[in-house]
Structures are given as structure tokens and as C-alpha cells.
Amino acid sequence: MLLSITIFAFIIRFHIGKKAKNILHMKIDKNLNLVQELFNFISYSEYFEDLILFCIFYDVINGFYIDIGANDPNEGSVTKAFYLRGWYGINIEPLSNKYKALEENRKRDINLQIGIGKIEGNESFYERGAVSTFHKQYLKGKMANITKIKVTTMLNLCKKYIPKNEVIQFCKIDVEGGEENVLLGNDFEKYRPKVFCIESTFPCTFIPSHDLWEYILLKNDYSFAYQYKVNRFYIDNRINGLRERFILAEKAVKIFEKKKK
């Protein structure tokens, strides 16, 4: 009960900060529904990525996502909470065992055992559990199983698989050093996720890596909105109202941190 009251309090503070005309048109039942959703929310992701994104897209019904580096469909998944709410999307996962798990658990999704890069081709993929990568230098000499994996671009992926008129609500990128290549392979005038959630540290470290790829988003009219742990969130500047919702996300994370303890 105390948690529910606390969540309700910060939601009210969040909305009061908006212009009076927005408050006058706001339905109290919608606020109460959001309180209940947050109170019952189950986070499956490692660093509350799903909770943060839910605070941004809580009013989107049956949305669409792209998860590049999806890994497991359940444990640590950024998209499971959305899938359970009726969303669907594209999961990219080169690891065979994780791809098979996605195929078994995500029947509504498009699951692809490929990589996403700057150009089309076939590339060596170094399999070593959670640090599997297309970039050998990040293994630091450690042994890995090497396989050849088909690689396509984000542009071609979207052209082929996204239904006509579908809106990409968010794109999560976790590719162990391949972020720049993923972003360089897109045409942002044709395919613009509203929000990017990108792992922004070098593999297996907390050393920031966003300086290597952030410039691509900035020059394509995105801006940095929020950071939590290893992830940075970027928003499309052409869409109004996204930044304000990260105020809600930040407050929700603090409450869930206490709840987790």
C-alpha cells in the first residue's frame, strides 16, 4: 500500500508540472490506471530498461519494437514486458541457443539469427557467452567459438520486415562494440525509432563508449535524454513530449531500486 501511495504521489507531481490546459483535459481514471500498471509492473531486464521504456510508452497499445542483440526471451529481456502487453517486433540474435529460445517463446515476433552492421555480407562471429561479438578485439585474447553469420543493415532489415505504416516505438541495441556500425547502416529519414536504448560501455566494463557512435544520432536529430547504469536513452527531437516522460522514468527507477532491495 505504501509503495502504491508513493507511486501515485510522484505521478501527480509529474503531471502538475505540465501546463494547466493539459491537466484540465486529463482523465483521472487514466492516472489511476497508470498507478496500477506501475504497481503491478514486473521488470525482466537487467537494469530496469523495460521499466524506463514503459514509463515512456505506457499509453501505447500493441506497439512495435526492434531488439538488436535480444539474447534470452525471458531472463534479462528488455522486450518481454511489452510482448506480454500485446506488443510485437523484431528480435536479432546471432547465438544459436538464444535464437532457438526466441523462436519457441516469441511466436508473434520476427526472430532472426543474423547480425546488423554497416554493410551486407557474412562476418566472423566470436561466440563466448554474454560477451559474444563480431569484434575480436573485445575478447582480449580469450578463446571463442568462431562461426560465419549473415549480416544485414538496419535499413534493409526495416525495408524487408516492418509492416507498412508501422511505427517503431523503440530500438534497443546491445551488440558488444558494434553500435557504430549498426547506426551507420540505417537511413534515419526513412526509419526513425522514437527512442533508442543503447548499451554505452565497452564490453564487460563500465567504461563509457558512446563517444564512438553518439555523433550519428545527434546529426540525425536525436538528443540524449537519460542514462541509467550501462544504458543511454536517446529521443527523436521531431516528436514532442518524450523528454518529459523521462522524469516519470527516473522517479520510477528510484522506487523500484528500493523495492528490489
Q: 240-254: per-residue pLDDT in tens?
A: 999 999 999 999 999
Question: What digits encode the pLDDT tens for the residues 26-66?
Answer: 444 456 678 788 888 999 999 999 999 999 999 999 999 99
Counting residues of the chain whose pLDDT is more than 90, the rounded percentage is 72
Q: Taking all residues of the chain, what is their mean pLDDT, rounded to a whole number?
A: 88
pLDDT of residue 31: 64
Query: Is it the case that residue 8 has pLDDT exceeding 70?
Result: no
When pLDDT is averaged across residues 55-80 and rounded to a whole number, the result is 97
3-state secondary structure the chain: CHHHHHHHHHHHHHHHCCCHHHHHCCCHHHHHHHHHHHHHCCCCECCCHHHHHHHHHCCCCCCEEEEECCCCCCCECCCHHHHCCCCEEEEECCCHHHHHHHHHHCCCCEEECCEEECCCEEEEEEECHHHCECCHHHHCCCCCEEEEEEEEEHHHHHHHHCCCCCCEEEEEECCCCCHHHHHHCCCCCCCCCCEEEEECECCCCCCECHHHCHHHHHHCCEEEEEEECCEEEEEECCCCCHHHHHHHHHHHHHHHHHHHC
pLDDT of residue 243: 97
Task: List the domain boundaries for the chain.
Answer: 62-238
Confidence bin at 15 (pLDDT 50/70/90): very low
Query: Is it the case that residue 150 has pLDDT exceeding 90?
Result: yes
pLDDT of residue 23: 39
Please tell me the least confidently modeled range out of 21-25, 29-33, 88-92, 112-116: 21-25
What predicted TM-score, i.e. pTM, was given to this entire model? Answer: 0.88
Of 73 and 15, the one with more pLDDT: 73
pLDDT of residue 27: 43
Question: What digits encode the pLDDT tens for the residues 173-229?
Answer: 999 889 999 999 999 999 999 999 999 999 888 999 999 999 999 999 999 999 999
pLDDT of residue 37: 85
When pLDDT is averaged across residues 148-177 and rounded to a whole number, the result is 96
**1.10.600.10, 3.65.10.10, 3.30.1330.30, 3.40.50.150: which CATH number matches 62-238?**
3.40.50.150
When pLDDT is averaged across residues 82-100 and rounded to a whole number, the result is 97
